[in-house]
């Protein structure tokens, strides 16, 4: 079936879409519980007030209802219809205001008059409503009742973690975020694809250990790093911040701070061969948790492979980033790219020939016995592989030298190891 996994991912997104997530609160817990139906996530809670690097875990926010009534008592804005209508972290309110006063608490986008914007105010207490600009234009002079049934309390920041042990303690790291309400590409595509990737990784024999986390953006990665930095710096060899992976447009790549890590190498290698039109952004255009992972002193090898990058599509952070904006096909394409990265990383190592000069392939059945004009492609690939398997190049380097996708070299690696013509040096 075409895009089978893509369809499963799309369906899971549909289930998660209505939940009102934020950086803390029950929306995050509900989301993680649904993800636990796919993978055995461990759920961890960090208390409000805890110091994490330069930051402090904020109060936990929960919301039950919110609306605006006009003078005639019509519910003109209703949180239950779209959770984007309320500014994230709005404090409770129950009052009547003139239109002028209300305007100070309304957010809309003039250039996108149909869209409800996504707005938050995590670190300054405030309240507000987000509506389409079209609707805002229709508001008449008069008084409005505003009601937000929310709560800011000493509570917890909640996140999910899955550790899948491998042969070595060296780790591949996957991070994705679960702090946005009903937004599809940014963000739900991230945790959904990550969950399916984790499920597939679970089924693999693994060279590497996998550290996979589902966290609120920024404060979540800061909190996670502050608790795990030592072992992360010790072990992580490549990592991916997974977001915006389900629209069906071109591919994008956001490098690490200097663009020189193993994660950058494998991502660009795979994209170059599979999606040659992919767009590379500058690290200056970052905007997600690589802001923490790649910051000075943390310096983790983390990149993002995306479909259309956050902030680069008009639907971003509005009600237009909805279930119509994403597709099974979009999901499936990104899923395959990430799988190929992981397959290559699992086999990536520095290889070294065991004999001096070219080995005699013929006596091992690897060479056609009668030579005419020039040797065959497969023989050349073997000899080319051996030539750059000098202990200074890893699998991806060798693939780049010999101008082939690393994935295609994996059977050759296996064959040469079987014949003891190469050994893995580290």
CB of 355 to a copy of itself, least distance (A): 4
The nearest distance, CB 313 to a copy of itself, in angstroms, is: 12
Q: Does 390 interact with a copy of itself (rule: CB under 8 A)?
A: yes
Burial class (CB in 10 A: 0-12, 13-18, 19+), 234: exposed
Range in contact with a copy of itself (rule: CB under 8 A) among 10-18, 189-197, 238-246, 279-287 = 279-287
Q: Is 370 in the site for a copy of itself (CB under 8 A)?
A: yes
**Per CB under 8 A, 135 contacts a copy of itself:** no
- The contact pattern for a copy of itself, residues 103-132, with x = CB under 8 A and - = no contact, is ----x---------x-xxx-xx-x-x----
Q: Site for a copy of itself (CB under 8 A): which residue of 62, 248, 280, 384? A: 384
Annotate 38-58 with DSSP letters as a single string.
Answer: TS-PEEEEEETT-EETTEE--
CA-based nearest residue to 239, from 276, 275, 281, 288: 288
Q: Residues with Cβ < 8 Å from 282, sequence gap 6 or more?
A: 255
Q: Within 47-76, which residues bind a copy of itself (CB under 8 A)?
A: 53-55
β-bridge pairing 171-177 and 236-241 = parallel
Any contact of residue 292 with a copy of itself (CB under 8 A)?
Answer: yes
Torsion over CA: 248, 311, 174, 345 (sign): positive
Site for a copy of itself in 303-362 (CB under 8 A): 311, 316-317, 352-353, 355-360, 362
**Residue showing tokens 């499936």:** 332
Cα separation of 180 and 56, whole Å? 20
Q: Kindly tell me which of 158 and 221 has the beta carbon lying closer to a copy of itself.
A: 221
Q: CA angle, 67 as apex, 65 and 69 as ends, to 5°?
A: 145
Which listed residue (43, 44, 383, 410) binds a copy of itself by CB under 8 A?
A: 383
Q: Which residues pair with 47 in a beta bridge?
A: 156
Measured CA to CA, the distance from residue 79 to residue 23 in angstroms comes to 18
Cβ proximity to a copy of itself: between 43 and 298 the closer is 298
Which residue in this structure is represented by tokens 């002193």?
297
Residues near a copy of itself (CB under 8 A) are 53-55, 87, 107, 117, 119-121, 123-124, 126, 128, 218, 221-222, 225-226, 229, 257, 283-284, 287, 291-292, 294-299, 311, 316-317, 352-353, 355-360, 362-363, 369-374, 380, 383-384, 386-391, 401-403
């Amino acid at each position: 079936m075409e895009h089978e996994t893509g369809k499963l991912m799309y369906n899971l997104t549909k289930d998660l879409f209505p939940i009102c997530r934020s950086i803390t609160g029950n929306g995050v817990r509900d989301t993680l519980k649904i993800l636990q139906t796919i993978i055995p996530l461990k759920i961890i809670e960090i208390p409000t007030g805890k110091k994490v690097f330069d930051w402090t875990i904020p109060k936990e926010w929960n919301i039950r209802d919110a609306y605006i009534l006009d003078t005639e008592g019509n519910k003109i804005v209703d949180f239950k219809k779209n959770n984007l209508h309320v500014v994230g972290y709005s404090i409770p309110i129950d009052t009547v205001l003139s239109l002028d006063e209300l305007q100070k608490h309304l957010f809309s986008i003039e250039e996108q008059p149909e869209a409800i914007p996504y707005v938050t105010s995590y670190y300054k207490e405030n309240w507000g409503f987000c509506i389409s600009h079209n609707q805002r234009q229709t508001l008449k002079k008069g008084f409005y009742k505003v009601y937000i049934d929310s709560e800011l309390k000493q509570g917890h920041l909640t996140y999910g973690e899955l550790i899948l042990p491998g042969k070595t303690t060296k780790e591949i790291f996957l991070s994705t975020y679960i702090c946005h309400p009903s937004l599809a590409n940014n963000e739900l595509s991230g945790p959904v694809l990550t969950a399916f990737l984790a499920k597939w990784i679970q089924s693999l024999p693994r060279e590497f250990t996998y550290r996979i986390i589902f966290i609120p953006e920024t404060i979540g990665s800061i909190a996670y790093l502050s608790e795990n930095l030592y072992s992360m710096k010790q072990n992580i060899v490549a990592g991916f911040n997974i977001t915006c992976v389900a629209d069906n447009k071109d591919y994008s790549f956001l490098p690490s701070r200097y663009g020189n890590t193993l994660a950058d190498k494998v991502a660009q290698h795979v994209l170059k061969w599979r999606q040659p039109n992919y767009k590379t952004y500058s690290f200056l255009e970052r905007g997600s948790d690589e802001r923490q992972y790649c910051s000075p002193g943390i310096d983790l090898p983390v990149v993002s492979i995306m479909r259309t990058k956050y902030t680069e599509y008009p639907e971003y952070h509005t009600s237009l980033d909805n279930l119509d904006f994403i597709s099974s096909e979009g999901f499936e394409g990104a899923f395959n790219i990430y799988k190929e990265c992981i397959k290559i990383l699992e086999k990536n190592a520095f290889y070294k020939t065991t004999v001096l000069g070219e080995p005699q392939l013929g006596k091992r059945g690897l060479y056609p016995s009668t030579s005419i004009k020039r040797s065959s492609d497969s023989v050349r690939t073997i000899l080319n592989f051996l030539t750059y398997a000098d202990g200074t190049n890893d699998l991806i380097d060798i693939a780049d030298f010999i101008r082939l996708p690393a994935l295609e070299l994996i059977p050759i690696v296996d064959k040469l190891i079987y014949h003891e013509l190469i050994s893995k040096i580290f």
